Structure 1
């Protein structure tokens, strides 16, 4: 199976990756769905909706600051590094991600499409102000602040720049992802449940346009029925072994 997958990767002229929570779980980032999901302790309607934020912004912000602190300590795993290496090789053209962490970029991926936002970015609830707290160097101070965060431009309440339940995906990111999927001759689907739409359409679009679908997952998902190859296993372990074969084929 790995041999077949490596051949498809090496033959590809325009590959993309579609990643979900499973790729970051090995880096210590809890998944929302799955055995140790965050929602085992918290109901999503209490913490990740516009209505919840309007009702109790203190509760929502305390949860998101906890998540920020947890995620900033995580480090990329071999699966993140494998995708970055494929991009450097010129095989992988983009990573379309459903996660809100920065692990793909930390591993070296440059063309990353964020479908669900970025947990280290905040935006104003009134004006167009946005800030990436990691890039601005204000993350430590932000996490230590006890008051609700306010916009430095207009004074309104800031919120996490992530997509909450019931909110649409950012149009620009979704359009870019769909365009990439229409062009791709291969998609590596790694660690996603394949049940969150419209994001889950991406592998289907690749398939409909004649591309191949390789899925790497610990269990079958909503994508498995259309996958040309399904490789069961942890993302980091599988991608590390896959890259060994890819390097041999390219240097052989």
Structure 2
């Protein structure tokens, strides 16, 4: 049995238990666009920012990164330790279920707010990485891009023994966005673009940055091509994801939300499922063959 709330019409409806069949019924016969957040990846070992069991976290803003060398050094030191954890993460049942639903023709594509590439690793073909991915780094001056692995080699050369020391001193506690908790970062050496000497930044949309307009338009087009919108594992706290729910509602497209805890878009949903994403998406996929890693 899955706990859910239904909304008709506004205000926010009360919570009532309904079977998974209610979600299947809402989506049955419809082409579904999917919007995912960090809750989809927690079962792959990647923590989220706003889940009910998550500790308080303060993500770095774009202004801090570009305007304060201390913040920037702290970020790269932590990311130097933590990014390989994200790189080694593997898709879970939720990622594989969405890929199976896409192959079956039910899901038209995934818009993800995550930067972990797990939808692609899980076999999904039509994926819009709304906030970019951890795997690339770009120069803010000349726009030259390099892989995160290439930068790792450069940072290792500039900071011999740093990773080993951090592991020996504290172990590794990984936080969201591919960084790790490293208390002492004062000695870390940051490297710049090897082409122009400009500032390097992960090719990720930070808090305070604007998602590139072509990417946003692509996501709107995906929602427009669908007959329903399914939100999975997102609290919809930030506008970059919530706008697609509002867009679907304006079009009269049914919206279903699967997430533990309250969401900013609950009042816009036709159905809210209070449950984990992995088991719910696996239930939706039913007996469809899985793929991916």
Alignment partner, residue 34 of structure 2: 17
Alignment partner, residue 241 of structure 2: 199
1:49 aligns with 2:66: no
CA contact (8 A) 2:36 2:234 kept: yes
The change in CA–CA distance for 1:159 and 1:223 in structure 2 (over 3 A counts) is same
For 1:154 and 1:88, how far apart are their aligned partners in 2?
44
Please provide the CA RMSD for this pair.
Answer: 2.2
For 2:259 and 2:248, how far apart are their aligned partners in 1?
18
Q: Deviations over 1:97-123 (max 9, x none)?
A: 111111000001111111111112100
Alignment partner, residue 6 of structure 1: 24
**Matches of residues 26-37 of structure 1 in structure 2 within 5 Å?**
26-35=43-52, 37=54
- 1:221 deviates by 0.9
The change in CA–CA distance for 1:37 and 1:68 in structure 2 (over 3 A counts) is farther
- 1:236 deviates by 0.5
From 124, 133, 143, the counterpart of 1:109: 124
Q: Deviations over 1:162-214 (max 9, x none)?
A: 11121111111111112222332111100101120032110221122121111
1:138 aligns with 2:155: no
For 1:184 and 1:106, how far apart are their aligned partners in 2?
23
Higher CA-based Rg:
2
What TM-score do you get using the length of structure 2 for normalisation? 0.74
From 61, 85, 91, the counterpart of 2:76: 61
Unpaired stretches in structure 2, ≥5 consecutive residues: 1-18, 160-188, 289-293
Counterpart of 2:190 in 1: which secondary structure? coil
From 111, 122, 140, the counterpart of 2:137: 122
Unpaired stretches in structure 1, ≥5 consecutive residues: 248-252
Which has the larger helix fraction? 1
1:76 aligns with 2:66: no
Alignment partner, residue 250 of structure 1: none
State the aligned residue count: 239
CA contact (8 A) 2:35 2:241 kept: no
What TM-score do you get using the length of structure 1 for normalisation? 0.85
For 1:36 and 1:61, how far apart are their aligned partners in 2?
27
For 1:9 and 1:175, how far apart are their aligned partners in 2?
24
For 2:253 and 2:81, how far apart are their aligned partners in 1?
40
For 1:143 and 1:99, how far apart are their aligned partners in 2?
24
1:100 aligns with 2:115: yes
